[in-house]
């Protein structure tokens, strides 16, 4: 089976993870711009980070057989520094035009401040202007209040709800999103957020329509194989292979395909591996023998 992880922070992962993901059937990923663990203090650090998402990281993924896309945005954790936030929002539009950028994100609330709300709404407007979907992060604290406020902001700006995926949902917040036309994102994570068994229970209760599952794997205690592990849990619970593929491949790609920059056919197509290639004169290898193979298309 083939899988697609629509929310994973590969800049925090090793090439071993790419190899294991490919072996597990993951053929494509989306990497949202996010907080790197400590606040960035100047616009240059954001520019270098954004450049890495559309450059080096895309190249590195391809060296291990995985198609890499990304979303661009100012995350809510760093939105409260107003002067820096204004600088980031000023450069963001040029990245929203780049190849492989399939949405604005991840954006949303952290502490649900007035400044975070302003930054969220400005980026929702950018998405409207650039005809791009939006990936919205719901806060770790006060998830119900944050999810309600997110829906209010979406409606305040007037972006079409079907262009928005609200992520990190759980048993308490999913019903709120089900009352909208937004897509429903779930992060399967060790010990916190959503487990495979809880995710399967939600799919059994609410069905597969607009349901999206990701690993949200980052620099913390996380697991880049949570998408295929959820697939195995679905099969064990009686879901068909077609239902698994709908949730874990078709749905996320169909949502981000609204950007016009990704499609099921594109992600399923042959991706040859040639580790003799360089990116700005740099290799993804460290003395290892380069692998060159034609790969195989996924049926």
Name the band, by pLDDT with cuts 50, 70 and 90, for residue 272: confident
* pLDDT tens string 50-69: 999 999 999 999 999 999 99
Mean local confidence (pLDDT), 200-227: 96
Is pLDDT above 60 for 299?
no
pTM for this predicted structure: 0.94
Name the helix (H) or strand (E) containing 164: strand 164-166
Q: What is the mean pLDDT of the chain?
A: 94
Q: What is the helix, strand, coil percentage profile of the chain, to 5?
A: 45, 15, 40
Name the helix (H) or strand (E) containing 2: none
* pLDDT tens string 255-267: 999 999 999 999 9
CA distance 230 to 222: 14
pLDDT value of residue 153: 98
* pLDDT tens string 115-128: 999 999 999 999 99
Give me the domains of the chain, ranges plus CATH numbers.
Answer: 3-293 (3.20.20.140)
């Amino acid at each position: 089976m083939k899988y697609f992880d629509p929310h994973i922070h590969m800049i925090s992962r090793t090439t071993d993870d790419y190899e294991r993901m490919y072996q597990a059937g993951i053929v494509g990923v989306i990497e949202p711009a996010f907080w790197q663990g400590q606040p960035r203090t100047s616009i240059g650090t954001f520019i270098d980070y954004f450049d890495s998402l559309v450059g080096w990281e895309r190249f590195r993924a391809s060296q291990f057989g995985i198609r890499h896309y990304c979303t661009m945005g100012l995350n809510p954790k760093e939105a409260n520094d107003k002067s820096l936030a204004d600088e980031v929002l000023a450069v963001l539009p040029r990245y929203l035009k780049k190849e492989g950028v399939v949405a604005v994100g991840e954006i949303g609330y952290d502490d649900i401040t007035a400044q975070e709300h302003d930054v969220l709404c400005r980026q929702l407007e950018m998405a409207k202007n650039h005809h791009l979907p939006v990936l919205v992060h719901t806060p770790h604290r006060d998830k119900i209040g944050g999810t309600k406020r997110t829906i209010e902001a979406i409606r305040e700006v007037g972006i079409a709800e079907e262009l928005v995926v609200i992520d990190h949902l759980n048993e308490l917040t999913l019903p709120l999103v089900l009352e909208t036309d937004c897509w429903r994102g779930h992060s399967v994570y060790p010990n916190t957020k959503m487990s495979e068994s809880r995710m399967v229970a939600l799919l059994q209760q609410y069905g597969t329509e607009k349901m999206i599952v990701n690993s949200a794997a980052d620099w913390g205690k996380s697991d880049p194989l949570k998408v295929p592990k959820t697939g195995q849990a679905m099969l064990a619970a009686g879901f068909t292979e077609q239902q698994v593929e709908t949730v874990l491949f078709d749905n996320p790609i169909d949502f981000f395909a609204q950007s016009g920059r990704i499609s099921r056919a594109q992600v399923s197509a042959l991706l040859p591996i040639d580790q003799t290639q360089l990116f700005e004169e740099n290799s993804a290898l460290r003395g290892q023998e380069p692998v060159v193979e034609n790969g195989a298309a996924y049926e």
